[in-house]
Chains A and B, each alone.
Chain A
Amino acid sequence: MVVLLDIRDLRLEFSVGSETVYALRGVDLQVERGTRTAIVGESGSGKTVAALATLGLLPPTARVTGGQIWFKDRNLLELSEKELQAIRGSQICMTFQQAAAALNPLYPVGKQIADVYRRHVGGSKKEAWRKAVEVLAATGIPEPKDRARNYPFEYSGGMAQRAMIAMALVCHPQLLIADEPTSGLDVTIQVQVLDLIQDVVEQLDATLMLISHDIALVSSVCTHVMVMYAGKVMETGTVEQVLNAPANPYTMELLRCFADSEASEVPFISGRVPDLRQVWTGCGFAERCPRAFALCHQIPPPVVEVGSGHFSTCHFSLPVGRAST
Chain B
Amino acid sequence: MEQGAILQVQDAVKTFVVRRRSLRQVRMTALDGVSISVRRGETVGLVGESGSGKSTLGRCVLHLSKLDQGKVIFDGQEIHSLSEHDFRALRARIQMVFQNPITSFNPMMTIGQTLLDAMRLVKDMSAQEKKQRVLTLLDQVQLDERFVRLYPYEMSGGQLQRVALARALAPRPDFVFLDEPTAALDMSIRGQIINLLLQLQRQSELSFVFVSHDLRVIRYVADRIYVMYLGEIVETGDKRQLFTAPRHPYTRSLLAGTLIGQIDRRKIRYGSALSGEVVQKEENYRGCKLIGRCRYALERCVNEPQVLEEIRPGYWVRCW
| A interface, CB within 8 angstroms of B | 42-43, 142, 156-159, 186-192, 194-195, 213-217, 219-220, 239, 243, 253-255, 257-260, 262-270, 272-273
Contact = CB atoms under 8 A, between A and B. Distances in A.
A253 B215 CA distance: 21
Contact of A219 (B158, B216, B263, B277): B263
A146 to B, nearest CB: 15
B258 A268 contact: no
B218 to A, nearest CB: 11
B189 interface: yes
A66 to B, nearest CB: 27
Contacts of A268: 188-192, 195
Interface in B257-271: 257-258, 260-263, 265, 268, 270
Contacts of A239: 265
Given A187-B49, A191-B273, A272-B142, A43 B187 contact: no
Contacts of A191: 256-257, 260, 270, 273
Interface residues of B, number: 40
A79 B262 CA distance: 42
B268 A257 contact: no
A239 B268 CA distance: 15
Given A219-B265, A266-B220, A268-B191, 14 more contacts: A142-B276, A186-B278, A187-B214, A190-B257, A191-B257, A194-B260, A195-B270, A243-B263, A253-B188, A257-B191, A260-B216, A268-B192, A269-B191, A272-B142
A272 B270 CA distance: 35
A187 B186 contact: no
B187 A213 contact: yes
Contacts of A260: 216, 219, 262
Nearest to B47: A187
Interface of B: 49-50, 142, 156, 158, 186-192, 194-195, 198, 213-216, 219-221, 253-254, 256-258, 260-263, 265, 268, 270, 273-278
A310 to B, nearest CB: 17
User: Which A-B residue pairs are the 5 nearest by beta carbons?
Assistant: A268-B191, A187-B257, A266-B191, A186-B49, A216-B261
Given A191-B270, A216-B261, A216-B263, A156 B277 contact: yes
Contact of A265 (B156, B189, B195, B216): B195
Contact of B187 (A156, A187, A257, A265): A257
Given A192-B273, A264-B198, A258 B263 contact: yes
A255 B219 CA distance: 17
A197 to B, nearest CB: 13
Nearest to A194: B260
A273 B188 contact: yes
Contacts of B194: 266
Contact of B156 (A43, A189, A192, A216): A43
B163 to A, nearest CB: 15
A186 B260 contact: no
A191 B252 CA distance: 13
Given A188-B253, A214-B261, A266-B191, A43 B158 contact: yes
Nearest to A43: B186
Given A213-B186, A266-B220, A268-B190, A188 B261 contact: no
Nearest to B243: A262
A215 B278 CA distance: 27
